[in-house]
């Protein structure tokens, strides 16, 4: 596809700013609000920041083509200052559906946030968290004693979820990974793979003595009493990748990484 209205955004690192200068004189760039596609320069954290900024504007989202000028760059393409027109025309598009986290605090306030990678619940003190886990309104774990728990999308399954020994989910699998973080009891529960139509409810037991925070990607709500998680199909995102370096292939190959 040929994109005529392009926006250029870059992270605050010196490397990304230098790349931004190199590209700035190579075409006519428009504001993000008027763009058909966004070129994002930075790492995975900046890509998540860029995608969240689009979701918060609540306008129709546009595809994002990222180029890695960060550390890991799992969601990014290789940085090259030349051949951008051809790369965009040949790029493969991948749909990414974010999670919607609805967190109710112990004070009764309700916070609704999107999560592209994962929603995680984490203990705030030395006290072990105790959580009740429900799926589609059915309690499946009356009490999980742990450091926390997370729900990850396929796109986010190779991030925090993988570090917590969770499964890698192929893109397009239609699944959510539900992974405990340092579980104590039940000792043998190592998580679940759920259909992405599932509604997950997590209630904090004894929230006063054992406070828990909820994090949607990089945004934290402290002292939560209940967290409800589901896919937000109304806010689908599109990432663009070079055909030889596509996201689905990267996720597949992560399963064979040494």
- H/E/C letters for each residue in 104-150? EECCCCEEEEEECCEEEEEECCCCCEEEEEEECCEEEEEEEEECEEE
Q: Which pTM value belongs to this model?
A: 0.90
Residue 130 domain-assigned (yes or no): yes
Q: Are residues 243 and 127 located together in one domain of the fold?
A: no
Q: Is 117 annotated as a binding residue?
A: yes
Q: Containing domain of residue 28, as a range?
A: 6-97+236-254
Q: Are residues 118 and 200 located together in one domain of the fold?
A: yes
Q: Are residues 172 and 103 located together in one domain of the fold?
A: yes
Q: Is 201 annotated as a binding residue?
A: no
Residue 44 domain-assigned (yes or no): yes
Q: Are residues 114 and 203 located together in one domain of the fold?
A: yes
Residue 79 domain-assigned (yes or no): yes
How confident is the prediction along the chain (258 residues), in pLDDT tens digits per residue? 788 899 999 999 999 999 999 999 888 899 999 999 999 999 999 999 999 999 887 677 899 999 999 887 889 999 998 999 999 999 999 999 999 999 999 999 999 999 999 999 999 999 999 999 999 999 999 999 999 999 999 999 999 999 999 999 998 899 999 999 999 999 889 999 999 999 999 999 999 999 999 999 989 999 999 999 999 998 899 999 999 877 888 788 888 876
Number of domains in the chain: 2
Q: Is 3 annotated as a binding residue?
A: no
Q: Are residues 47 and 112 located together in one domain of the fold?
A: no
CATH number at residue 162: 2.60.200.30
Q: Are residues 11 and 135 located together in one domain of the fold?
A: no
**Catalytic amino acids?**
44
Residue among 23, 85, 88, 96 nearest 54 (CA): 96
Q: Is 161 annotated as a binding residue?
A: yes
Residue 1 domain-assigned (yes or no): no
């Amino acid at each position: 596809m040929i994109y005529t209205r392009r926006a250029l955004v870059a992270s605050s690192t010196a490397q990304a700013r230098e790349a931004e200068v190199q590209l700035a004189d190579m075409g006519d760039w428009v504001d993000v609000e008027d763009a058909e596609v966004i070129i994002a320069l930075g790492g995975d954290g900046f890509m998540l920041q860029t995608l969240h900024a689009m979701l918060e504007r609540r306008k129709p989202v546009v595809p994002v083509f990222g180029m890695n000028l960060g550390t890991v760059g799992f969601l990014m393409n290789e940085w090259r200052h030349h051949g951008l027109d051809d790369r965009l025309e040949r790029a493969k598009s991948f749909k990414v559906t974010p999670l919607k986290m609805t967190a109710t605090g112990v004070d009764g306030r309700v916070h609704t946030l999107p999560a592209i990678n994962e929603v995680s619940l984490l203990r705030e003190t030395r006290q072990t968290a105790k959580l009740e886990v429900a799926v589609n309104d059915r309690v499946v774990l009356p009490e999980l004693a742990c450091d926390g728990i997370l729900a990850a999308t396929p796109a986010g399954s190779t991030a925090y979820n993988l570090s917590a020994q969770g499964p890698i989910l192929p893109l397009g699998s239609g699944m959510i990974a539900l992974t405990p973080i340092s579980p104590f009891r039940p000792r043998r529960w190592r998580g679940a793979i759920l259909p992405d139509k599932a509604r997950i409810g997590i209630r904090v037991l004894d929230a006063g003595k054992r406070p828990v925070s909820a994090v949607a990607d990089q945004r934290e709500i402290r002292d939560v009493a209940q967290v409800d998680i589901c896919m937000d199909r109304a806010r689908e995102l599109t990432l663009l990748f070079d055909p030889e370096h596509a996201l689905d292939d990267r996720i597949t190959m992560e399963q064979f990484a040494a």
